[in-house]
């Protein structure tokens, strides 16, 4: 540790962390909550639906001895 960071070298780093925290806080103030909610739900729903569709098509080839609904639910959840 001491060979990578000299004794006086970590002082400015701690001050820069405060600056990064303030910057992230200010960026969070500018974000619209509705856009965040839409983006988060879309990033969950799209893989869930696409994984379910893929599992529905792959069921005859991959799922031997398993019901279709549990297989589709498992695969869509794993993709989501």
Least confident of 1-5, 24-28, 51-55, 68-72: 1-5
Q: Where are the domains of the chain?
A: 11-79
Are 76 and 52 a contacting pair, CB within 8 Å? yes
pLDDT tens column, 30-40:
888 898 899 99
Residue 10, pLDDT above cutoff 70: no
Check whether 69 has a pLDDT greater than 90: yes
pLDDT class of 41 with cuts at 50, 70, 90: very high
- What sign has the CA pseudo-torsion 26, 29, 32, 35? positive
Q: Please say if the pLDDT value at position 2 is more than 90.
A: no
Task: With cut-offs at 50, 70 and 90, classify the pLDDT of residue 13.
Answer: low
Kindly state the DSSP code that residue 65 receives in the 8-state scheme: S
């Amino acid at each position: 540790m001491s060979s990578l960071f000299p004794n006086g070298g970590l002082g400015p780093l701690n001050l820069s962390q405060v600056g990064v925290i303030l910057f992230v806080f200010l960026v969070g103030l500018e974000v619209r909550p509705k856009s965040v909610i839409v983006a988060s739900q879309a990033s969950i729903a799209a893989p869930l639906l696409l994984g379910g569709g893929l599992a529905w098509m792959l069921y005859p080839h991959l799922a031997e001895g398993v019901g279709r609904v549990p297989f589709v639910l498992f695969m869509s959840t794993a993709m989501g």
